[in-house]
A and B are shown apart, each in its own frame.
Chain A
Amino acid sequence: DAMVIQNPRYQVTQFGKPVTLSCSQTLNHNVMYWYQQKSSQAPKLLFHYYDKDFNNEADTPDNFQSRRPNTSFCFLDIRSPGLGDAAMYLCATSNGKDRQYFGAGTRLSVL
């Protein structure tokens, strides 16, 4: 059974048109992460939530925002997608002590 679910699996948006990616978890983990992975590169951490505390990586562009309305859900908002934002976006969760559990990812295309 899927424990970290990302929707949609594939998302196409237009240059500059806001888009929201969704992640939900059934593990009741207190930490949720968003990563960006471009082709043939390692995932790059954008930010994470430790409970309700939002932690932004220093080099994450302002164009990327996140919301966590409750333990189970976390959203990635891209306010004005550019061509360079086309990538796989991975959501992961952890209980802070152990491994991270990854979702299947959302592949974003920007036209």
Chain B
Amino acid sequence: KNQVEQSPQSLIILEGKNCTLQCNYTVSPFSNLRWYKQDTGRGPVSLTIMTFSENTKSNGRYTATLDADTKQSSLHITASQLSDSASYICVVSAKSGGYNKLIFGAGTRLAVHP
């Protein structure tokens, strides 16, 4: 069964600190892996997307890693800001016919406190 599991479920950090969010998946056939940021009451916004051959991808203070052998990914946030408070969702894409089907993790809810 295609599944995406994220940890921790929730996280509280102080402004300026770094944090790392984890994502484990069992999805086949694998197409790509994305990290989305979702602010409360808004739609998800893509942060990074990685294919099978990519190990690391950065987007400003966000750095995602992918280990396709162990089927694990992480999202590292550097020098956190109050605006980073949101849910971070790991989404793995599986090829299904002519389109990609997305399998969503439950998300990690991050709260950055001053």
Interface of B is mostly: strand
Interface of A is mostly: strand
Other-chain contact of A94, B41, B44, B100, B105 (Cβ < 8 Å): B100
**A48 vs B96: C-alpha distance when bound (angstroms):** 12
B-to-A contact residues, CB < 8 Å: 34, 36, 41-46, 49, 89, 97-102, 104-107, 109
Contacting residues, chain B, for A96 (C-beta < 8 A): 98-100
Query: Which residue from chain A places its CB closest to the CB of B109 in the assembled complex?
Result: A40
Chain A interface size band reads: 20 to 34
Other-chain contact of A88, B34, B41, B97, B102 (Cβ < 8 Å): B41
**B105 near A50: Cβ-Cβ < 8 Å:** no
Q: Confirm or deny: A81 has a beta carbon within 8 angstroms of a beta carbon on chain B.
A: no
A-to-B contact residues, CB < 8 Å: 4, 6, 31, 40-45, 48, 50, 88, 90, 92, 94, 96-97, 99-100, 102-105, 107
Query: Which residue from chain A places its CB closest to the CB of B6 in the assembled complex?
Result: A42
**A92 vs B89: C-alpha distance when bound (angstroms):** 15
Query: Which residue from chain B places its CB closest to the CB of A41 in the assembled complex?
Result: B106
A-B contact pairs, 18 of them (CB 8 A): A4-B43, A40-B106, A41-B106, A42-B89, A42-B104, A42-B107, A50-B98, A88-B41, A96-B98, A96-B99, A97-B100, A99-B46, A103-B43, A104-B42, A104-B43, A105-B41, A105-B42, A107-B41
Contacting residues, chain A, for B99 (C-beta < 8 A): 31, 48, 50, 94, 96
**B104 near A99: Cβ-Cβ < 8 Å:** no
